[in-house]
Structure 1
Amino acid sequence: MADLVSALLFCLLAIPTSQHDGHRTRSGNDTALPKTFRGSVYKVNHTTQLPDQLHPDAAPQLYVDLDGPVTAYTKGVLSTWVIPSAYILAMLVGIPSNAYILAFLRVKLRSKSLSSVVLCLNLAFSDLLLLLSLALRVHYHLNANNWIFGEISCRVITALFYGNVYCSAQTIACISLKRYLAVVKPFLYRRMAKTTLAVGTCLVVWFLFGVAAVPELLVRQSYYITQLKKTMCHDVLPLEENSHSLLVPYRLMLFFLGFLLPFSICMFAHTAVVYHLRQSASDWRPYIRASTLVFIIFMVCFLPSGILHIAHYIHLFSSGDDRLYVYYRLAVCLCCFHSCLDPFLSMLLSKTADSELQFIGLHRSPQRSTVT
């Protein structure tokens, strides 16, 4: 009888200990209670991570809603044919043309218009990096949106892509501002240390490139989508997790600094330049047409992606609607086409400037300033 009582007491004492241990084990296991996330592309219903001891090399898993747009996007013709075809076309045109511009402008480094050469070199180099970063993205889309190159390469490609898109837009804004000063403020323009300012401007642009790229390098970009049985790079992210939650305000900040501000500068500069040239007694129609063409192409290439970028996040966090991301990815292709068109636009503007077009100041001073 004494032995039976002792056994019962031992069992009663053991029950709280086993319950405490069991609770501790479940809370430490990431697969116990799947959480709900909103990805940057699609609404992610559940997420879980496989135990490290079972799959040490496996990417973390995300569960998605198969009734949402994720399945249609992954298997559809848009992401598996249209987008990679656009990237391939941009690379075939843009890589050799930007490489030619880099080689061509190196010859003019000792010319009088050194500041313009520096800015154009910066633009060509940024565009070339952007286009080169598309190679792995092309394979990713042609491989049914399945990333096979590992997490590090996914982070690097994502950072290079977004960093160089904003870098190109900011450089174009600097070139537009420079031409605005040459036309509207010719006396101030002549007194400026143009080459020093151009080099300093390029350094600031590349600093902003780092601001845009580094955060993308610090967070995981690739996740294994369980239902689709593939690893997706950057397209599905758990933005409600602490590790990714700051990406949303960060990307909205980039929208204002990397797109809205350069676009506003280009629009103001172009409008002011055209207005002042039309007030002149000389015929500036060739330059006005060239400048207008450059601005229209900039607007067509960057405006859709900028609008869809901000609209996507507004819809995502207001109503959970993430369908706009599909159209945003398509609009991003236009940014890549701008990178392959920049060399031809640079040559067009250089011809109009080299044809001895001289701009007259607002007060029609007898002194003239040449746009460089």
Structure 2
Amino acid sequence: MADLVSGLLICLLAVQTIQHDGNRPRTKTNISSVVKPKTFKGWRNTLNHTNQLPARLHPSSNPWLYVNPEDPVTAYTTGILSTRVIPSTYILAMLVGVPSNAYILGFLRVRLRAKSVSTVVLYLNLALSDLLLLLSLALRVHYHFNGNNWIFGETSCRLITALFYGNVYCSAQTIACISLKRYLAVVRPFLYRRLTKTTLAVGTCLVVWFLFGAAVVPELLVRQSYQITQLGVTTCHDVLPLEEKSHSSLMQYRLMLVFLGFIVPFLICIYAHVAVVYHLGQSGCDWRAFIRVSTLVFIIFVVCFLPSGILHIAHHIRLFSSGDDRLYGYYRVAVCLCCFHSCLDPFLCLLVSKTPASELQFISLREIPQRPAVMT
């Protein structure tokens, strides 16, 4: 049935092309070629027949994409998952995360006077990244509640998409840097003491934001919004023609970003947490309270970031190998967990700082009594 519908659409496009050949110069544009978008299959249309737009679409110069009515794009775009569940999750994350991250920015700014300036700098970087991520959700909430119909223009679509995904990776990388710093303080304390901690922390944050820029620039350079004629909506980032020259390299680029922005930070966090817990467990001091809190923070990180990372990789592999796009809806739900992590970070930071062996004291080994078992 899908092949039949596809064939009919291609025939209709061919007939329209023949009818208009006499009214315009001949071009070499391939109108009816099938493309593989990031999410759902579509057909690229370069004709600008504004008088044939569905009722919900206003005449514009945005390119059209045709989709198969039986493909998952229709169920996703019109279903309750994308029009109610996802935006409601975003609203909840914003209501909790925006004020809490704003508060933690002020709280940590006061802590800059403490000795462990380097740790505070990393937490400030994390809070700033989380705040930008949550603020980028505002327009996407309207987009989803409006039936996945983007009305704010192409420029804002590119900007919001870049901020969203760039800050997801930025948060994961900053958490990995905090874990690595904790690992050096416990497992390699003599090396840690020789480091210029504040300079290293500032340099690390600059590297993280450089990677953030590398992640967002490609999203800013290509078109993100397309009109879906059958559904009467303009999607933002959800349907992209990756077989076109302007989008062809995005799939490989995004897989590389998943590797650098998620897999590497995730492996660093696993190794650092296991090593820290092991060394503290072997010491003669009672670190049980800190180990419990640190383990809770690590578990929340895994629960929030692991599903989206796995589904992102699996989605791109299936899309690249067979054109199967059915995992995209599940991936979008998993991304909501990353937003929840951004609103939980301030509470986790406060929780760690309130433990008997608070991280701000723990990181600065000069403030800790003799701990022979940890120092070895």
Give the TM interval when normalised to the shorter protein. Answer: 0.7 to 0.9
Q: 1:169 and 1:75, CA in 2 relative to 1: closer, same or farther beyond 3 A?
A: same
Partner residue of 1:177?
180
- Whether the 8 Å CA contact 1:277–1:359 is kept in 2: the answer is no
1:277 and 2:242 aligned: no
Q: 1:75 and 1:360, CA in 2 relative to 1: closer, same or farther beyond 3 A?
A: farther
Q: In structure 1, the residue corresponding to 2:62 is in which secondary structure?
A: coil
Partner residue of 2:44?
47
Partner residue of 1:35?
33
Q: Please, which of 215, 230, 233 is the counterpart of residue 218 of structure 2?
A: 215
Partner residue of 1:14?
none
Q: Please, which of 62, 78, 82 is the counterpart of residue 79 of structure 1?
A: 82
Q: In structure 2, the residue corresponding to 1:27 is in which secondary structure?
A: coil
- Whether the 8 Å CA contact 2:169–2:262 is kept in 1: the answer is yes
Listed one character per residue, the Cα deviations across residues 236-292 of structure 1 (whole Å, up to 9, x for unaligned) are 000111100110011000011000000000000000000001111111110110110
Partner residue of 1:286?
289
Listed one character per residue, the Cα deviations across residues 31-67 of structure 1 (whole Å, up to 9, x for unaligned) are x6311101111122x2102349999832100001110
Partner residue of 1:96?
99
1:116 and 2:116 aligned: no
Deviation at 1:190?
1.5
Q: In structure 2, the residue corresponding to 1:107 is in which secondary structure?
A: helix
Measure, in 1, the Cα distance between the counterparts of 2:300 and 2:243. 37
Q: Which runs of 5+ in 1 are unaligned?
A: 1-20, 367-372
Partner residue of 1:26?
26
Q: 1:198 and 1:365, CA in 2 relative to 1: closer, same or farther beyond 3 A?
A: closer
Q: In structure 2, the residue corresponding to 1:41 is in which secondary structure?
A: coil
Amino acid at match of 1:336: C
Q: Which runs of 5+ in 2 are unaligned?
A: 1-20, 52-57, 363-367
- Whether the 8 Å CA contact 2:280–2:374 is kept in 1: the answer is no
- Whether the 8 Å CA contact 2:279–2:374 is kept in 1: the answer is no
Measure, in 2, the Cα distance between the counterparts of 1:72 and 1:218. 29
- Whether the 8 Å CA contact 1:183–1:361 is kept in 2: the answer is no
Measure, in 2, the Cα distance between the counterparts of 1:207 and 1:361. 38
Listed one character per residue, the Cα deviations across residues 213-256 of structure 1 (whole Å, up to 9, x for unaligned) are 11100000000001111100000000111100110011000011
Pick the structure with greater CA Rg. Answer: 1
Measure, in 2, the Cα distance between the counterparts of 1:99 and 1:181. 29
Tell me the percent identity.
72
Listed one character per residue, the Cα deviations across residues 53-88 of structure 1 (whole Å, up to 9, x for unaligned) are 999832100001110111110111100111001000
Normalising by structure 2, what TM-score? 0.87
Deviation at 1:155?
0.1
Q: Aligned runs of 1:159-308 on 2, under 5 Å? A: 159-308=162-311
Measure, in 2, the Cα distance between the counterparts of 1:360 and 1:148. 62
Listed one character per residue, the Cα deviations across residues 121-171 of structure 1 (whole Å, up to 9, x for unaligned) are 000000000000000000000000000000000000000000000000000
Measure, in 2, the Cα distance between the counterparts of 1:302 and 1:150. 30
Measure, in 2, the Cα distance between the counterparts of 1:250 and 1:361. 46
Amino acid at match of 2:37: G
Measure, in 2, the Cα distance between the counterparts of 1:105 and 1:225. 46
Q: In structure 2, the residue corresponding to 1:180 is in which secondary structure?
A: helix
- Whether the 8 Å CA contact 1:95–1:340 is kept in 2: the answer is yes
- Whether the 8 Å CA contact 2:48–2:63 is kept in 1: the answer is no
- Whether the 8 Å CA contact 1:184–1:361 is kept in 2: the answer is no
Measure, in 2, the Cα distance between the counterparts of 1:206 and 1:360. 37
Q: Aligned runs of 1:292-371 on 2, under 5 Å? A: 292-352=295-355, 353-354=357-358, 358=368
Q: In structure 2, the residue corresponding to 1:47 is in which secondary structure?
A: strand
Measure, in 1, the Cα distance between the counterparts of 2:349 and 2:68. 46
- Whether the 8 Å CA contact 1:183–1:359 is kept in 2: the answer is no
Measure, in 2, the Cα distance between the counterparts of 1:82 and 1:232. 18
Q: Give the alignment's Cα RMSD to 1 decimal.
A: 2.2
Count how many residue pairs are aligned between Structure 1 and Structure 2: 343
Deviation at 1:360?
6.5
- Whether the 8 Å CA contact 2:154–2:224 is kept in 1: the answer is yes
- Whether the 8 Å CA contact 2:187–2:375 is kept in 1: the answer is no
Deviation at 1:25?
2.9
Measure, in 2, the Cα distance between the counterparts of 1:67 and 1:56. 26
Measure, in 2, the Cα distance between the counterparts of 1:122 and 1:52. 48
Q: Please, which of 139, 155, 159 is the counterpart of residue 156 of structure 1?
A: 159
